[in-house]
């Protein structure tokens, strides 16, 4: 039950997307081609979870050493880069369009879960919830943009302005879920 | 190409502008961070290009940029631990943003160092202007005051009490600022079109 509670809290209330903003640009980039994103999703999930699995014990060891803890972000980043480099070799389709998949989001998410999680299981759970939140928002935004393609929209609102407004409304939706949960609690 | 560049800047700045530039004081810290990172990354890219090339050089440059951000974060923690605790994540993420902004631009090996520093400074200036304007606009509307970084956190100057109303506070939230950003971009397009028509008529 407590695991479900953590996932719910992180996906809706402390969504890394809306609360920390670390996935906004990835959602923006990925949403027009949601099919491609879904194809690459398994690789992304493995990447993030594997990075947390490796980086968390190392960062915990560094915490116990004292002043070295300031270098934890560097360790997280090096681990993240090495694992994504290996995954690109294993599955080259992840880089088929010449752009690293969700680079900033993956780094931010791993850093967040490594720094905020108390145990290895908590960190993995936070990373999983972050991925879920990213997937949910990207799919929602993709559905919105698909529908808007066939709608009669003023010329100046087409493209970026409408994506911004849709993202804003999505973030309100996330807040509403969080607030209503707080009120009932 | 120019249009793509604008889109890339707009998209990459989302990560920092929306959640971090809530107050002018936070924006000022981020501006200093980005300026420092842009110059540091340009310097190290020039150095790395002499010894390494290809993906290995990219990993080395990125690791150095995170290390430079960690150094800035330590300096911020010494200056004001409260500000550091509030902006910790964004100071680190700025390193990746700054690197991605600089990355695809030019062949670093053939350019002179002064030219590179100048172009990266100009590029970061444009990005920093967005962050400052956004922070100022959101703080004025949402809280009716302006703030500056200080050793105790932030130094606040109240300006307009009527602007701190709940109606305006919406503009300072994540959702509100995204919606306002969309409206501003659309208005900008409309204004540009109007100016184009006016110029044609004048000719």
**Predicted pLDDT of residue B28:** 92
pLDDT at position A101: 47
Q: State whether A73 and B66 contact (CB < 8 Å).
A: yes
> Do B63 and A81 lie within an 8 Å CB cutoff?
yes
Partner B contacted by A52 (CB < 8 A): no
Interchain CB contact of A65 with B (< 8 Å): no
pLDDT digit string, tens, across residues B3-19: 455 555 556 666 677 77
Residue B106 in this model has a pLDDT that exceeds 60: no
With bands split at pLDDT 50, 70 and 90, how would you rate the model's confidence at B134?
Answer: confident
Binding-face residues of A in 108-127 toward B, CB within 8 A: 108, 111-112
Residue A57 has pLDDT above 60, yes or no: yes
CB burial of A5-37 (b: ≥16 within 10 Å; e: otherwise) equals: ebbeebbbbbbbbbbbbbbbbbbbbbbeebeeb
Chain B residues near residue A103 by CB distance under 8 angstroms: 96, 100
Cβ contact A165–B183 (<8 Å): yes
Quick one: closest CA in B to A116, which residue? B89
| Cβ within 8 Å of A, B 47-86 | 55, 59, 62-63, 66-67, 69-70, 73-74
Give residue-wise pLDDT tens across range A130-168. 888 888 888 888 888 888 888 888 888 888 888 888 888
Are the beta carbons of A71 and B70 separated by less than 8 Å? yes
Please give the mean pLDDT across all residues of chain B.
79
The answer to whether B100 contacts A104, with C-beta atoms less than 8 Å apart, is yes
Total-model pTM = 0.79
ipTM more than 0.85? no
CA count, 13 A, side-chain hemisphere, A100: 21
Give A83-97 pLDDT, tens digit per residue.
Answer: 877 777 777 665 554
A127 pLDDT higher than 80: yes
Res B149 pLDDT > 80: yes
Q: Which residue of A has its CA nearest to B17?
A: A21
Contact B65, B37 (CB under 8 A): yes
Q: Chain B interface, mutation test: which of A12, A21, A76, A92, most B Cβ atoms within 10 Å?
A: A21
What is the mean predicted confidence (pLDDT) over B79-106? 77
């Amino acid at each position: 039950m407590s695991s479900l509670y953590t996932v719910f809290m992180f996906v809706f209330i402390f969504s890394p997307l809306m609360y920390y903003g670390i996935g906004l640009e990835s959602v923006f980039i990925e949403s027009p081609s949601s099919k491609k994103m879904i194809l690459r999703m398994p690789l992304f999930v493995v990447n993030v979870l594997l990075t947390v699995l490796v980086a968390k014990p190392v960062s915990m060891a560094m915490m116990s050493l004292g002043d070295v803890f300031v270098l934890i972000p560097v360790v997280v980043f090096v681990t993240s880069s090495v694992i994504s480099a290996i995954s690109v070799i294993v599955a080259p389709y992840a880089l088929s369009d010449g752009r690293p998949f969700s680079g900033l989001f993956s780094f931010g998410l791993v850093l967040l879960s490594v720094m905020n999680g108390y145990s290895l299981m908590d960190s993995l759970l936070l990373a999983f919830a972050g991925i879920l939140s990213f997937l949910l928002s990207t799919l929602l935004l993709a559905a919105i943009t698909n529908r808007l393609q066939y709608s009669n929209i003023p010329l100046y609102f087409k493209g970026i302005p409408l994506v911004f407004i849709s993202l804003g409304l999505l973030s309100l939706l996330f807040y509403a879920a969080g607030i209503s949960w707080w009120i009932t609690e | 190409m120019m249009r793509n560049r604008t889109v890339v800047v707009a998209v990459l700045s989302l990560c920092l502008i929306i959640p971090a530039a809530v107050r002018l004081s936070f924006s000022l810290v981020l501006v200093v961070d980005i300026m420092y990172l842009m110059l540091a990354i340009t310097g190290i890219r020039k150095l790395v290009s002499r010894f390494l090339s290809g993906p290995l050089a990219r990993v080395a440059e990125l690791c150095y940029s995170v290390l430079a951000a960690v150094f800035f974060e330590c300096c911020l923690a010494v200056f004001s631990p409260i500000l550091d605790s509030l902006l910790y994540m964004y100071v680190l993420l700025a390193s990746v943003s700054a690197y991605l902004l600089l990355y695809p631009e030019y062949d670093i090996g053939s350019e002179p160092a002064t030219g590179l520093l100048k172009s990266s400074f100009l590029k970061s200036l444009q990005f920093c202007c967005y962050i400052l304007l956004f922070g100022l606009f959101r703080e004025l509307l949402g809280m009716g005051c302006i703030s500056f970084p200080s050793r105790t956190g932030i130094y606040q100057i109240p300006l307009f009490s009527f602007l701190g109303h709940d109606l305006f506070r919406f503009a300072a939230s994540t959702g509100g600022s995204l919606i306002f950003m969309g409206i501003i971009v659309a208005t900008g397009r409309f204004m540009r079109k109007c100016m184009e028509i006016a110029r044609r008529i004048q000719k």
